[in-house]
Amino acid sequence: MQMRRTIRLSFEKGDSADSRTVQATMFTGEHHRAAGPFEDMTGNPALTLFLENHLQEMSTRLHANPRYIKNAIRAALRDKALVEKTKVEMAGRSLDGWHVRVTPFRDDPNRARMNGLDTLVYDFTVAAEVPGEIVRLSATAPAADGKFLIDESLSYDPKAP
């Protein structure tokens, strides 16, 4: 069964023409997490929220140092990301976008101790014409049996209330 959690962002004008203050509501009920406000943002905090939530869950699951995981993810995004142009279908339109794929733990010297999470893959799809630019963020870690240790995603929904 797939669980659906929602992150809602609301925006207020910031101190400069290009900035804004972003109020975030991250999940509800027992899954609610504190988030924001993010003052004078020029970008979309959804990527940071997604990665920070994922980092917390991974460090708990692996009983690992969150700084080690965060630094490995940061280094992989900086040094090993595969970035390709792509087309994004949104509201009946084909938009130009980018797809970013990174496997932060594939070559990690400690991957044998990662309980299978060395297979973790992040896929990010963005398009400038989409509000907030983020189309979809996903984190998957396929297991040897064909199932997934992790299968999480966050998608922009133009129809969300």
Q: Is residue 85 part of a domain?
A: yes
* Cβ–Cβ under 8 Å, residues 44 and 132: yes
Q: Is residue 122 part of a domain?
A: yes
Q: Is residue 26 part of a domain?
A: no
Return the biggest CA–CA distance within the chain.
Answer: 52
**Helix, coil or strand: residue 131:** coil
CB contact set of 40 (below 8 Å; sequence gap of 6+): 14, 15, 16, 19, 20, 21
Q: What pLDDT sits at residue 4? A: 59
CB contact set of 43 (below 8 Å; sequence gap of 6+): 133
Q: Is the pLDDT of residue 3 over 70?
A: no
Among 2-6, 19-23, 58-62, 115-119, the minimum mean pLDDT is found in 2-6
Query: Which amino acid makes up residue 126?
Result: V
CB contact set of 82 (below 8 Å; sequence gap of 6+): 100, 101, 102
Q: Is residue 44 part of a domain?
A: no
Entry pTM:
0.81
> In the chain, how many domains are there?
1
Range of the domain at 90: 76-155
